[in-house]
Structure 1
């Protein structure tokens, strides 16, 4: 994990996403993690290259790694990238 994504920053982003944007995390799992039958998802880690989710699929916790289309520079880049991914997910109609 690069310095721009210390464990503390990863934890802060994950906590925020899970508490305030659970619907977006589920969309990430369904659309980009290809777990279309997921009923819930939790972001467990984020780094400069991707995010790790734990999706609930048929009652089973399923680890899912989603890679970003570029290397994130910092937490602000992560913020913008996560917003862009939500927009992309919504456009898929899922």
Structure 2
């Protein structure tokens, strides 16, 4: 097994971007792929080559949730593709159309 391909700067930048611009996407992902259908909030707390970590609010209590990636990531560019895949999978599971990327 190789080491962590993403340094703290990358993890911080991705986490901030997800939390600032895609909080709703994180919530959908955690409600479906994270097994928390009753979650009221989700924020990214970290990631590594194998998955993304969230803090999910359930009944006003924040709990950690890890959502594994479909495969091990080795490059930063793969993160966006994998998060989009997870978002689209979450939308499909909920029967809602994904928004179009502009």
TM-score normalised by structure 1 residue count = 0.94
2:10 maps to 9
The alignment of Structure 1 onto Structure 2 pairs a total of residues equal to 93
1:88 matches 2:89: yes
1:63 matches 2:64: yes
Q: Which has the higher contact order (CA 8 A, sep 6+)?
A: 1
Q: Which has the higher helix share?
A: 1
Moved over 2 A (4+): none
TM-score normalised by structure 2 residue count = 0.87
2:99 maps to none
The SS at the match of 2:74 is: coil
Runs (5+) with no aligned partner, structure 2: 96-102
RMSD of the alignment, in Å? 1.1
1:33 Cα deviation after fit: 0.9
- Residues 29-87 of structure 1, C-alpha deviation per residue, up to 9 Å, x if partnerless? 11111011000000000111001100000110010011111001211101100001111
Runs (5+) with no aligned partner, structure 1: none
Larger-gyration structure (1/2): 2
